[in-house]
Amino acid sequence: MPTAPRLVMKFGGTSVATIERIRNVALRVKREVDSGRQIAVVVSAMAGETSKLVGWCKELSALHDWAEYDQIVSSGELVTAGLTAIALQTLGLKARSWAGWQLPLRTTDMHGSAAIADVGTERLITSMNEGNVAVIAGFQGVASGERVSTLGRGGSDTSAVAIAAALKAERCDIYTDVDGVYTTDPRIVAKARKLNKISYEEMLEMASQGAKVLQTRSVELAMIHKVPVQVLSSFTDVPGTMVVDEDEIVEKQLVSGIAYSRDEAKITLVRVPDRPGVAAQIYGPLADGGVNVDMIVQNVSEDGKFTDMTFTVGRADFERAMHVIERNREAIGYQRLATDTNVTKVSVIGVGMRTHAGVAAIMFRTLAGKGINIQVISTSEIKISVLIAADYTELAIRALHTAYGLDG
């Protein structure tokens, strides 16, 4: 007998924040069970729980043992998984919870931000075939030495997509506190529209350029394994946004969305000797130090002897980047450093850019029209990002949203 279609339902922290909400989750799961599907539920910790646990680790030691950190911060998901299983049982369903190690969901040894290596499904599938709803603790796995690991903040999205891929689920539904993916942050632009569909690639850019709705790695995984993902709300009954292959989107927009990130920092090395190898001398040590460099500009040197080099990093990496650059001052030979942490990166994203010229021109003209200075520009095939003064964030996003015809 062919097995029933499988569905993965992932519930974020706000969706399981209270016992009442966990009851509501159980009711939603029951509806899908009643429709004849096998269900794997993936849960986050209750909203605020993980941050509380992280805070305790930091309070004890800034340089804590990362394996112990994982042991601690993974506990929030164990609680919600068990509670959700009980809530399902009170509705008369068969259900059991799973910790990451029980599957096992194997990961790399990078404690604190491990990557998924393999999802064990044998025991899970046996249990589901016996009629149990599987309730899986998200965000966690097991590294070598049978040590518990975690996947980085927001990692339960990635757990859910990986499990959906391993189970060959028909879809992975990600329940959150917004009812889908919007053209931009609705808190900034009241006219932001919910997208019915968005391509994996666009979603990947949206997530990595600052839209917080899905963990970036979950989108990568979904794209690789072609898992259809739906982002929807656990508080309403409206359809969400489907993240799908580009071919499945008929009406392609020039620009699908505008993302932004305030967590940026800009560093300029003033008067760097303009000679071969200098870029390697700057960016090599940064990479070795684990600093992720994002945007880069090198000025044309007027005298052929000196140039300025500007780059951006995530705000969280700023101090480390400064330390690395200062330590390498002699080797690089710059005159001085200029820094700015009061900057925002605004990105316009759309697969339409591949085939249509002029998208960048609209962006530059629009920002110029508002008197907003562009400090750094970077582009990819389907994205243009600019760095601007943080004070102009809202103004820039609203103007661009209108300029690209995204206002609802």
Which residues contact ligand ASP (rule: CB under 6 A)? 12-13, 44-45, 50, 76, 138-139, 153-157
Beta strands per DSSP E along 167-228: 171-176, 197-199
Nearer to Mg ion, 45 or 367 (CB): 45
Pull the structure tokens for residue 313.
């990093």
Nearer to ligand ASP, 70 or 201 (CB): 70
How many Å apart are CA 405 and CA 401, to the nearest integer? 6
Q: Which does 257 bind (CB under 5 to 8 A by kind): Mg ion, ligand ASP, none?
A: none
How many Å apart are CA 285 and CA 141, to the nearest integer? 31
Nearer to Mg ion, 141 or 154 (CB): 154
The phi, psi pair for 215, rounded to 5°, reads: -65, 135
Nearer to Mg ion, 218 or 268 (CB): 218
Burial 124-161 (b: 16+ CB within 10 A, else e): bbebbeeebbbbbbbbbbbbeeebbbbbeebbbbbbbb
Provide the edge-to-edge strand list for the sheet that holds 133-137. Answer: 95-98, 133-137, 38-43, 6-11, 171-176, 229-233, 241-244, 197-199
Q: Which does 153 bind (CB under 5 to 8 A by kind): Mg ion, ligand ASP, none?
A: ligand ASP
Decide if 395 contacts 370 (C-beta within 8 A).
Answer: yes
How many Å apart are CA 238 and CA 173, to the nearest integer? 13
* Interface residue with Mg ion, options 100, 154, 155, 180 (CB under 5 A): 154
User: How near is the Cβ of 5 to ligand ASP at its closest, in Å?
Assistant: 25
According to the binding rule CB under 5 A, does residue 155 interact with Mg ion? Answer: no
User: How near is the Cβ of 289 to ligand ASP at its closest, in Å?
Assistant: 24
Nearer to ligand ASP, 177 or 394 (CB): 177
User: How near is the Cβ of 245 to ligand ASP at its closest, in Å?
Assistant: 25
Nearer to ligand ASP, 12 or 141 (CB): 12
User: How near is the Cβ of 46 to ligand ASP at its closest, in Å?
Assistant: 9
Q: By CB under 5 A, which span of 11-19, 74-82, 248-256, 269-277 interacts with Mg ion?
A: 11-19
Nearer to ligand ASP, 139 or 200 (CB): 139
Looking only at residues 251 through 280 of this chain, which bind Mg ion when binding is defined by CB under 5 A?
Answer: none
User: How near is the Cβ of 47 to ligand ASP at its closest, in Å?
Assistant: 8
Q: Which does 193 bind (CB under 5 to 8 A by kind): Mg ion, ligand ASP, none?
A: none
Nearer to Mg ion, 155 or 350 (CB): 155
User: How near is the Cβ of 216 to ligand ASP at its closest, in Å?
Assistant: 12
Helices H, strands E: what count in the chain? 13, 18
User: How near is the Cβ of 386 to ligand ASP at its closest, in Å?
Assistant: 29
Q: What is the β-pairing status of strands 376-380 and 293-298? A: unpaired
* Interface residue with Mg ion, options 9, 11, 12, 208 (CB under 5 A): 12
Tokens 């290596």, located at residue: 117
Secondary structure class of 6 (helix, strand, coil): strand
Decide if 372 contacts 400 (C-beta within 8 A).
Answer: no
Pull the structure tokens for residue 143.
């590294």
User: How near is the Cβ of 1 to ligand ASP at its closest, in Å?
Assistant: 35
Decide if 18 contacts 26 (C-beta within 8 A).
Answer: no
Q: What residues line the site for Mg ion (CB under 5 A)?
A: 12, 154
